Amino acid sequence: MKKILLSFIFMMLSLQAQIPDTKQLIVVTTKDWSTPNGKLQRYENEGDHWHKVGKEVNIKLGRNGLGWGIGLHTIPKDAKIIKKEGDGKAPAGIFELKQAFGYFPFVVDYPYEVYKATDHCVDDVNSKFYNKIVDSTKIEIDYKSKEHMRFPKDYYKYGIVVNHNHIDEAGAKKGAGSCIFIHIKSVPTAGCTVMREDEMKEIIEWLDVKSHPLLVQGTGEVVDDLMKEIK
């Protein structure tokens, strides 16, 4: 019994250690695991409580709903729906937000990258660049499948990189899902969370890197449980 208790305490301390002391949350809630629609609400922390920022936003996400992703959370042992490459599901869980991006310069305080058509996000599980955003003019291409980070449609005109499955980092698990962003679109996606351009820009302008912003995403019940893991 003592060993079990010590293991549980160690697990909880390890979990808390990897979640940053955030002051900004983007919370996306859906009705169930299969819906491609949801609601987004921003929050800021003041002292010992969270308060809403801005209006609730109607969003679309994966065309097949949600699946547990790889982030800062612990995936339940009894989880039945795990995100995989090409499953059309958005990741559920707690995720750090990395750089914002777009087609043109955008003067904001948050880290922001201007991408070109030759910048690719690699979704080929057989590539050493899997789940990485790369400048294809500066590498030896070994992939057959990728996303252009700039293309004629405005979907990536403004967006934010979600740190699902260690994007742009070591440790990405092959086949666990790649290239997850928050961006512009009006219909369900292959796994990203999307909204109108004005809503996307407002979020980017609001983000503060010193506040360690996080995305919390899941069904209502899942979000309630995930929020307990955040300080």
Share of the chain above pLDDT 90, in %: 88
User: In angstroms, rounded to a whole number, what is the distance separating the alpha carbons of residues 107 and 205?
Assistant: 9
Dihedral class, residue 86 (left if φ above 0, else alpha if ψ from -120 to 50, else beta): left
**Residue 91: closest CA among 25, 165, 171:** 165
Provide the token pair at 55.
């209006």
The number of distinct structural domains making up the chain is 1
> What average pLDDT does the chain have?
92
Output the CA–CA distances (angstroms, integers) from residue 148 to 28, 45, 81, 156, 211, in the order listed. 26, 36, 28, 9, 30
Question: 18 falls in which pLDDT band (50, 70, 90)?
Answer: confident
- Contacts of residue 53, defined as CB under 8 A and 6 or more positions apart, other chains included, come to 42, 43, 44, 206
pLDDT tens-place string over residues 80-114: 999 999 999 999 999 999 999 999 999 999 999 99
Alpha helix positions (H), the chain: 2-18, 197-206, 220-227
- Going along 34-142, which residue ranges are E strands? 37-46, 49-60, 66-68, 90-102, 112-114, 119-122, 133-135
Strands 112-114 and 90-102, sheet pairing: parallel
Q: Which residue has the tokens 């987004």?
A: 40
* Residue type (1 letter), 183: H
Provide the token pair at 23.
């002051």
pLDDT tens-place string over residues 201-216: 999 999 999 999 999 9
Residue 217 lies in domain: 2-227
Task: Say whether pLDDT at 10 is over 70.
Answer: no
pLDDT of residue 231: 66
- Contacts of residue 55, defined as CB under 8 A and 6 or more positions apart, other chains included, come to none
Question: 5 falls in which pLDDT band (50, 70, 90)?
Answer: very low
- Contacts of residue 179, defined as CB under 8 A and 6 or more positions apart, other chains included, come to 121, 122, 123, 131, 147, 167, 191, 192
Question: 78 falls in which pLDDT band (50, 70, 90)?
Answer: very high
Provide the token pair at 56.
């609730």
